[in-house]
Structure 1
């Protein structure tokens, strides 16, 4: 197929490897991928793919054919074509490029030459991956391919802020410790936030930026970000209390509690895939069992290891069910509305005696048995002596350390004055003070 024949068809094209060598090889994990044995060694061919499919981003993975792994493809930085043997391609085709010429001047098989070629290879792959994210369609080229059957999605990967290679999020910090490019620079800020800034910027909501992007990447966070009802619950909480920054962690915590609950339900019932499926009358007993499992319920003594978690989950589940019912009313889905309404009726009748009573009992017992710690006289005297230093410090603010110390003394005095209302004192803004 020549170039004129390609232009005549309204097709989209993906790269394929046609190398026939015996070294380790990989190819794109794409249902339309078809290897072609014709052409030059290590080069790639463009095979037509119809564009009637919805946009999606795939990740190149390791595929074995006849017991041999297919070639791992890389994108050329200069011609944007795909090859499995990129150093050979650059030496033969792009030797006149200034950056390639400088690399070729280095001694063969030397460490400096290998690192310089690796930099060019990573830049080419990153340029390709950036374009894939911008178009929201294509195949991402990661640094390390996942094994066949692992089903790693694009949500698992982020680029290293130094070498630009796409690495699994959970291994990103470990990779940066050994990354050859990171030795020349100092890491500032959050690793994940710095990596996300390398991707094409999309118009994101404040909820996405302040809540979801700040969550620590783990299995619970992955569940939270994939469940529509948990996300809707988080958005409602953000609309309610998200105006103050100290509440962002609280919202994230509430969403992850629901994520842990959903994981427990899914482990007990393989048919459940989302939180919405839990709000059905026949699922109420499974919901009770999952809450008890997450909160560490002991049937012998009718106590909870974490009684407050059981109470919090009860409030969150009731709120989620109400959100689901209201959504069903808006969409005129009578079946879903009836399930949510019936679930709430059972919740009101049975939740107190099956969960809340035992949780409150555990809290009351722990509070009754908790010893009351009284401060020593020496400690009280030491505190008052420290507070008496305020007039002396206020006379001389030449250094930053003395200014910070004076601020701490003022905060301490406000907390002592307010007694039990210490939370309001620590979150008060200077602009809001009289």
Structure 2
């Protein structure tokens, strides 16, 4: 490889030694921080045949490890144009440079695989219609395709390559259309390739990749952070921050600065449940320009005293979130004081002036990574599941558990906006775990269908249905018992007027306070009345139940356990020989009898 200072030719293994003492190197050029592989890549790029790419993309590619893939990228015109397109879209943000390098290496690996097993030699040939089958075989080989069960070892790689090929196809078509000396055959190839890809790519690649990704999540456990671990982590970070802040004030060194920066960054992420990358990339100017929002008088009238105190207590900073949307970060006074100390200590702790980040690394132009900081303190605090304490899991935790609060629609929108979610995505993905929902909710419907009693729960919500999975329901016994009860009940007991119902309700209100203090709630029998001989309902028992349960009979709604227990407690003497399952079955039989009469009239 040629040295780009003196153009001398050196072996790859010894080039980095020459670069340190090259006589043609300017004193202003600093190669000390560049590794061996980065030196090779930088020299190879600067001494290669020049392509129509900008200096920004060259700086991005020069940071890549120099291997066969990088060498292939630097010498392929179409891959460089693809990289230039990505740089035009994302180059202004340094944190997206890794993304550009990743996408380039994906296509470079694809081209390297295709060169070994197919006639394809250039990236441009990937979109030739005649090479489509060769392209499919190369993609499957690279992504680890298993033809036996139509699965991929790396399904996301196959999907991302498909997107990149679509971009290359568009670039080839538009470049040749907009150029005076453009190749019309390439335009035709690009259009034909798009037609073939749109029709066949889904069946050959996309279906298998998406199926692999979906099925891999079916039985994977969804582990959320434990509240105990979060509390332990918060307590540990508070102690570390107090020590680090004290040490930095007394001795402003790079190590003390690093300790305070890491713990403050982790605290801000966990308190706000923010994406770790968003807070890590908070800029210094953003923090300096923060303002405590003054509450409008009209708005203040709508707030509670506690909410007004919260507005005065917290400081709000708005940072760049996902897809360019602004997301808020709330800072406690202790966080603000720690961050102000970090700002004051930047110069004495070797933070370069060109470093624009709030949580900057000493001697570098980058920032600390929030995920690594959280994991560091999670292991130090001896949490039970430290691997679960990540910003993603914590965000999932608050979005999922917020359903327990029974938030209104506008309140759920506010939570989604604060977390930086699109409300549709928030409602679709951040729900209670599907396994829990299916076990707790839908199993009620299935049990009712199995027992043949689903019609008895007409008009009820899922939360109102109570079914004992061990309860056995004999429909013939239910019919016979209802007929027996119908004949034993007097016409006076069956037809209760509204005046009697109101009187019963008033009596219920008068009796319940006197008896509830002296009568304890009976523990339910495990198997209801099964095994006990049937007892005919006395008139006093019927009237006692009707005084409290007629609203369930009229609405055809089977009472819950607590409703039956309240009825027994309100009538302790009349219902002393009845338990809650007996009362429930009696009401159910009355409902069944009413439905039969209604059907007979029709």
Query: Scaled by the length of structure 2, what TM-score is found?
Result: 0.41
In the TM superposition, 1:146-165 aligns within 5 A as: 160-161=18-19
Distance change (3 Å), C-alpha of 1:259 and 1:194: closer
Q: Contact 2:114 / 2:135 at 8 angstroms: preserved in 1?
A: yes
> How far 1:191 sits from its partner (Å)?
2.8
SS of the aligned residue for 1:388 comes to helix
Q: Contact 1:278 / 1:284 at 8 angstroms: preserved in 2?
A: yes
Q: Which runs of 5+ in 2 are unaligned?
A: 24-30, 291-602
CA distance in 2 between partners of 1:313 and 1:296 (Å): 13
1:346 to 187, 196, 201: 196
Aligned residue number for residue 297 of structure 1: 145
In the TM superposition, 1:307-326 aligns within 5 A as: 307-326=155-174
Q: Contact 1:211 / 1:248 at 8 angstroms: preserved in 2?
A: yes
Q: Contact 1:394 / 1:406 at 8 angstroms: preserved in 2?
A: yes
SS of the aligned residue for 2:218 comes to helix
SS of the aligned residue for 1:432 comes to helix
1:421 to 271, 275, 288: 275
Aligned residue number for residue 223 of structure 2: 373
Higher helix proportion (structure 1 or 2): 2
Distance change (3 Å), C-alpha of 1:349 and 1:417: farther
Aligned residue number for residue 260 of structure 1: 109
Q: Contact 1:130 / 1:199 at 8 angstroms: preserved in 2?
A: no
> How far 1:157 sits from its partner (Å)?
6.4
Aligned residue number for residue 231 of structure 1: 80
> How far 1:141 sits from its partner (Å)?
5.5
Higher strand proportion (structure 1 or 2): 1
Aligned residue number for residue 190 of structure 1: 35
Aligned residue number for residue 74 of structure 1: none
2:237 to 377, 387, 399: 387
CA distance in 2 between partners of 1:416 and 1:432 (Å): 20
> How far 1:297 sits from its partner (Å)?
0.7
Residue by residue over 1:195-237, the C-alpha shift from the partner in whole angstroms, topping out at 9 and shown as x without a partner, is: 7889998999433442111110111111111111100000110
Distance change (3 Å), C-alpha of 1:158 and 1:316: same
SS of the aligned residue for 1:370 comes to coil
Number of corresponding residues: 271
RMSD over equivalenced CA pairs, Å? 3.5
Q: Contact 1:158 / 1:196 at 8 angstroms: preserved in 2?
A: no
CA distance in 1 between partners of 2:104 and 2:166 (Å): 14
1:220 is aligned to 2:74:
no
Distance change (3 Å), C-alpha of 1:398 and 1:417: same
Residue by residue over 1:36-58, the C-alpha shift from the partner in whole angstroms, topping out at 9 and shown as x without a partner, is: xxxxxxxxxxxxxxxxxxxxxx9
1:398 is aligned to 2:250:
yes
> How far 1:130 sits from its partner (Å)?
6.0
> How far 1:416 sits from its partner (Å)?
1.7
SS of the aligned residue for 2:223 comes to coil
Q: Contact 2:173 / 2:186 at 8 angstroms: preserved in 1?
A: yes
- Say which is worse superposed, 275-284 or 249-258, in terms of deviation: 275-284
Distance change (3 Å), C-alpha of 1:205 and 1:263: same
Distance change (3 Å), C-alpha of 1:324 and 1:380: same
> How far 1:382 sits from its partner (Å)?
2.3
